[in-house]
Copies of this chain bind each other. A is one copy, B any other.
Amino acid sequence: MASETMPNWLVKRADLSPERVALITDDVTWTFSNLHKFSVSAANKLSALGVKAGDHVAVLMGNRMEFLSLMHGLEYIGAVAVLLNTKLTAHEISWQLKNSESKLVLFDDLFLEKLDNTPKTVQQLTLAEFINVEEGKAEIRTEYGLNEVHSIIYTSGTTGNPKGVMLSYGNHWWNAISSSLNLGLHTDDCWLCATPLFHVSGLSILMKSVFYGMPVFLIEKFEPSKVNAAIEKYHVTHISVVSQMLVRLVAALGERMYPKSFRCVLLGGGPAPKPLLEVCKEKGIPVYSSYGMTETASQIATLSTEYMLSKLGSAGKPLFPAQLRIEKDGQEQTANEAGEIVVKGPVVTKGYWKNEEATEKSIVNGWLYTGDIGYLDGDGFLYVLDRRNDLIISGGENIYPAEIEAVILSHQVIEEAGVVGKSDEKWGQVPVAFVKTWDGETVTKEEILSLCKERLAKYKVPVDVIFVEEGLPRNASNKLMRKELRKLLK
């Protein structure tokens, strides 16, 4: 089918509009022509390192300009980018490198110690080393297949190990197109990226940039004053945020207002607190609440302009190519009845890397069972109640209790562990652990936390450990009822 292939994206964009700006950072301004040139160079270096089409190459770096040329360089060759979260521990990174069967990991020197446990099969190169690699001669692909895997991003599951979400070229393409049909597309659009590029939120901005011919204003570290300055002085028109970032932006803005040219705050990463939305409404800040996840290549539902005020608090309707329904016990729910959010559309992942079981469990006949809870109002607008049952969202990062519990349970004196989120003014939520030791055994809070620190990214380490005498609350099938733990917290 003809629609399965497209011309090489960045080559196409650099041909259509070579002089348009592709990237703005503190240090550089790149046109699409520059970006293409640097991507060819990256592809040539990757080729010299033996990277071939279909190879998996891990990337461990922050929001640096090199991320862009590297990612497009991988596309040019047809290699798959495995995007590692820089906040992970050496232990977690080692697991993902191994699981993803990465051949090579390219990393920012900053994260050297995170590669301590790297499997011997994985070649490691710092960015500085990579830059010094002598270029080979890569064969730049002329076409991309929309069904091919473009990138893998790990997401922790409610149980067990993280799962590698395979995002296809088509997933990224359709996501950008879906968004443009909702937000419109102006010649002078400029999207600020202060969310990590290794997350689908940041990554999707890079994708849009190439399809739209639009500059990305790339921020290495989110600082409210810096972001506000970009919006007020440099004609930034769009920004993607999680609610914790928006709180800080609004606080830093003070009495000022954003310019009229500022078109969109795309708000994702979990339900937004209504008071925050109210403040934005008063200040005329165009907040587009959205719903999405790694498995949908970012937003799949977004509130549209005309309902921004009347449906405050809703994540809108599924975008043009997407479908969404609420299910409970296998039945589609009627209006205002809560249930699991189930979605379908060309942005939905093909599945989890080498995890057929998880894929088959999550995706049935093209419908993705998100595990998130929500309802549709009488007009069909989505309200998200709970992200993935027990998911904790801390400063935009997803934390799965099961992963932390597994680490705590690896300690020999622990019989049971349960982790839940506690409200936090700064981060939205933070994890708290409940533990029960085997009868007669003891352990200190510090020992547990130190185990967590060793194995888990900092944001996943519980802020507190609460010891319980009795067993943790469980349902009939002995499943931990974290809901009960949350009640205990209060």
Contacts and interface: CB of A to CB of B under 8 A. Distances in A.
A344 interface: yes
Nearest to A306: B17
Q: How many copies does the complex hold?
A: 2
A180 interface: yes
A409 interface: no
B180 A185 contact: yes
Interface in A358-407: 366, 380
Residues of A contacting B: mostly: mixed
Nearest to A19: B306
Contacts of A380: 15
A181 B185 contact: yes
A478 interface: no
Given A180-B185, A212-B181, A320-B12, A366 B2 contact: yes
A301 to B, nearest CB: 11
Contact of A184 (B174, B177, B185, B366): B185
A7 B305 contact: no
A187 B321 CA distance: 19
Contacts of A269: none
A320 B5 CA distance: 12
A62 interface: no
B185 A185 contact: yes
A1 B13 CA distance: 26
Nearest to A174: B3
Contact of A348 (B2, B15, B318): B2
A184 B187 contact: yes
A397 B383 CA distance: 51
A4 B321 CA distance: 10
B211 A320 contact: yes
Interface of A: 1-7, 12-13, 15-17, 19-20, 143, 146-147, 170, 174, 177, 180-181, 184-187, 211-213, 304-306, 317-318, 320-323, 344-346, 348, 350, 366, 380
User: Sorted from nearest, which 7 A-B pairs have the closest CB atoms?
Assistant: A3-B346, A185-B185, A184-B185, A6-B321, A3-B170, A2-B346, A7-B323
